[in-house]
């Protein structure tokens, strides 16, 4: 038996299709829509930050001592260009750690963009390569109080030991503890006396 659709039924059918179509989510492939979903970096004047940056695909580009030295030289240059303090740092096999405090009016983002960008150019040139060196944008977290500061500080100290690179934190030549103990302040800055009471191993043992 042939079914006949009345004008009223046909209208309801089209209306139903229209309603269903209106319920379907609209996908916007615009890059602007994607970028707006990125979490904004939390920055605060006078704050101290734990910063980490990882090499693209986790490649261990820092295995050679001269590549670690290249990063530290770039960090020295950054300190001359921008006003900031490094409380502790460590250059690992495929990432870096910084405990950093930007100076008044300085932008953490600008400091890190210059540091990571210049190092990438130098490293690529040295190894006759091109393209992205770092992976995702660098991670940063505001240090919230003394306990958090000490926790992050000792974590950075112990990172080379946890990775099996050395037996003791002070043996790592590419970190803040060795530099503090040996009196080098071109990268790490001297710690306040009240902080040294909690971190006596960071006292100067010998002058360079």
> What integer pLDDT is reported at residue 38 of this predicted model?
57
What CATH architecture does domain 49-202 belong to? 2-Layer Sandwich (3.30)
Task: Classify residue 63 as left (phi > 0), alpha (psi -120 to 50) or beta.
Answer: alpha
Quote the tokens at residue 202. 């960071």
Buried b (16+ CB within 10 A) or exposed e, 25-47: eeeeeeeeeeeeeeeeeeeeeeb
E strands, 28-172, where?
A: 49-54, 84-91, 95-102, 139-142
Instruction: pLDDT tens for the chain, 208 residues: list them.
Output: 444 444 444 444 444 544 545 454 454 444 444 344 456 666 777 899 999 999 888 778 788 899 999 999 999 999 999 999 999 999 999 999 999 999 999 999 999 999 999 999 998 898 888 777 777 888 999 999 999 999 999 999 999 999 999 999 999 999 999 999 999 999 999 999 999 999 999 988 877 6
Domain boundaries, the chain: 49-202
pTM reported for the whole predicted model: 0.77
């Amino acid at each position: 038996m042939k079914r006949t659709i009345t004008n009223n039924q046909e209208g309801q059918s089209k209306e139903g299709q229209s309603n269903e179509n209106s319920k379907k989510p609209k996908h916007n492939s615009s890059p602007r829509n994607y970028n707006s979903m990125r979490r904004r970096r939390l920055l605060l004047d006078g704050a101290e930050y734990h910063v980490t940056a990882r090499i693209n695909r986790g490649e261990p580009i820092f295995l050679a001592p001269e590549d670690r030295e290249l990063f530290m030289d770039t960090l020295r240059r950054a300190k001359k260009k921008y006003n900031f303090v490094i409380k502790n740092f460590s250059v690992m096999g495929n990432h870096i750690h910084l405990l950093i405090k930007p100076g008044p009016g300085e932008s953490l983002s600008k400091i890190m963009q210059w540091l990571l960008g210049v190092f990438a150019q130098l490293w690529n040139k040295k190894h006759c390569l091109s393209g992205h060196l770092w992976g995702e944008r660098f991670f940063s977290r505001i240090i919230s109080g003394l306990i958090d500061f000490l926790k992050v500080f000792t974590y950075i100290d112990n990172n080379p030991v946890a990775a099996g690179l050395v037996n003791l934190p002070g043996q790592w030549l590419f970190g803040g503890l060795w530099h503090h103990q040996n009196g080098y302040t071109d990268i790490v800055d001297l710690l306040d006396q009240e902080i040294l009471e909690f971190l006596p191993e960071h006292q100067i043992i010998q002058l360079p």
